[in-house]
Amino acid sequence: MKNYPARTGHSPTPSSTTGKPGPALFAMALGGLAIGTTEFASMGLLPAFAADLGATVPQAGTAISAYALGVVVGAPVLAVLGARWPRKRLVLVLAAALAVTNIASAFAPTFGTFVGTRFLAGLPHGAYFGTASVLAASLVPRERRPRAIATVMSGLMIANIVGVPGATWLGQAAGWPAAYLATGAIAVVTMVAVWWLVPDVREERRGSVVAELSALRRGQVWITMAVIATGFGGSFAVYSYVTPILTEVSGLAEAAVPLALAVYGLGMTLGNQAGGRMAEAAPVRTIAAGLGAAALSMAVFAVTVSSAVMALVALFALAFTTTATTPALATRLMDAGREGPTLGAALHHAAFNVANALGAALGGAVLAAGWGWTSPAAAATVLPLLGLVALGVAVRMERVERRRDLALAA
């Protein structure tokens, strides 16, 4: 196993690499497969664990919320606490935490215990992706960082095509605990793959708690998180209610809904890969184009959802365009954090789960108001547009900071 030298400066990217980083990136992407599977399969397994653990369906929804809360809490806390650890070691520890907490979910004796294990399972989510993203960036030249991050994130996207349907089927066939045991097994495989395939990067500057926390003082970090929360909030407003929308309005049979979700997952996967390439050339334009196209896709979905074919086309477009912004936004957060790149990258997933809560709440509110099944998509069109406004503010702030720095240097 080769050692990779780290480049000096704030970015951990090496000046040169020996060997190809592909296997290492694949190993870390396996962790994303485990995370995506446990996060989204829980929604399909909700009626099963609710009935088995003596909870109503609305009560069981708290287990989903507990996981999201764990992500929001764990992303900054674990990234900061692990600041002084070598990043490969921290990735291994976080993968181990994923394994233990998912196995614990499978053996939860009561609903209250299950909710607690789901909160714990969410804790390593953001910190894993944050640490793995920075580690991935350190294995490639600086200009290749977005594509490396997209590769690590691909596990999360592929989970929506393979992991979630597979875990849901397994849970239905062998009982819901089997799905969480399978997720724990993927996390164990991740540990082995990371230990074997990811090189030990020699970090000339060890991170620190103070350095990581410094990311929170930077306005660019917060405004970029706002772009993520609003930009992705729209897609979650649609995704959270996609099953009843497709069955009640599009006329799809319930048995065909997994196919629609696989189409959405395929859009996420391809969008992530395309976004990684586009972000290398024009990161801000990639984000702006993705947000604008996502708003258009939601509007098209709202207008044409009565046609099952058009609904699937619009869902694919929504997933593709929204997810295409991911590599550019993750890289932007790492750069905005400067001294605290791991925390910056981890905050991407905290903001992502804020988007989850925001989109679901907006969709639920318009449905409760009696506006009809197409209303979540129609109302959520405004969210990526707000993301565009936030992006404009971020770019303007950047220009002001650059002019100020040039004036101070003169």
For the chain, which domains are there? 6-207 (1.20.1250.20), 215-410 (1.20.1250.20)
Residue pLDDT tens, the chain, 410 long: 444 444 333 444 443 344 588 899 999 999 999 998 998 788 778 778 888 999 886 677 788 878 888 988 998 889 888 878 898 999 999 999 999 999 999 999 999 999 999 999 999 998 998 899 889 988 999 888 898 988 998 988 888 888 887 887 888 889 999 999 999 999 999 999 999 999 987 665 555 677 777 777 888 899 999 999 999 999 988 887 887 889 889 999 877 877 888 899 899 999 999 999 999 889 999 999 999 999 999 999 999 999 999 999 999 999 999 999 999 998 888 888 777 777 877 888 888 888 887 888 888 888 888 899 899 999 999 999 999 999 999 999 888 888 887 877 76
**Residue 98 and residue 128 in contact, taking contact as beta carbons nearer than 8 Å:** yes
**Residue 19 and residue 201 in contact, taking contact as beta carbons nearer than 8 Å:** no
Q: What would the two tokens of residue 228 be? A: 């993520």
**Which are the contacts of 351, defined by CB distance < 8 A and separation ≥ 6?**
224, 225, 226, 228, 229, 232
Each residue of 290-307: b (16+ CB within 10 Å) or e? bbebbbbbbebbbebbee
Handedness of CA 385, 340, 99, 163 (dihedral sign): positive
Q: Using alpha carbons only, what angle is made at residue 394 by residues 142 and 133, rounded to the nearest 5 degrees?
A: 35
**Which are the contacts of 174, defined by CB distance < 8 A and separation ≥ 6?**
none
Q: What is the dihedral angle through the alpha carbons of 115, 120, 124, 125, rounded to the nearest 10 degrees?
A: 0
Q: Residue 123's CB: how many other CB atoms inside 10 A?
A: 23
Residue in 32, 33, 283, 284 with CA at minimum distance from that of residue 142 = 283
Q: Report which residue type is found at 307.
A: S
**Looking at residue 136, what is its pLDDT?**
92
pTM above threshold 0.85: no
**Looking at residue 58, what is its pLDDT?**
66
**Looking at residue 254, what is its pLDDT?**
76
**Looking at residue 57, what is its pLDDT?**
66
**Looking at residue 14, what is its pLDDT?**
42
Task: Measure the CA–CA gap between 275 and 340, rounded to whole angstroms.
Answer: 24
Q: What would the two tokens of residue 241 be? A: 């209610």
Q: Using alpha carbons only, what angle is made at residue 337 by residues 332 and 343, rounded to the nearest 5 degrees?
A: 100
Q: Residue 348's CB: how many other CB atoms inside 10 A?
A: 25
**Residue 232 and residue 271 in contact, taking contact as beta carbons nearer than 8 Å:** no
**Looking at residue 109, what is its pLDDT?**
94
**Looking at residue 98, what is its pLDDT?**
96
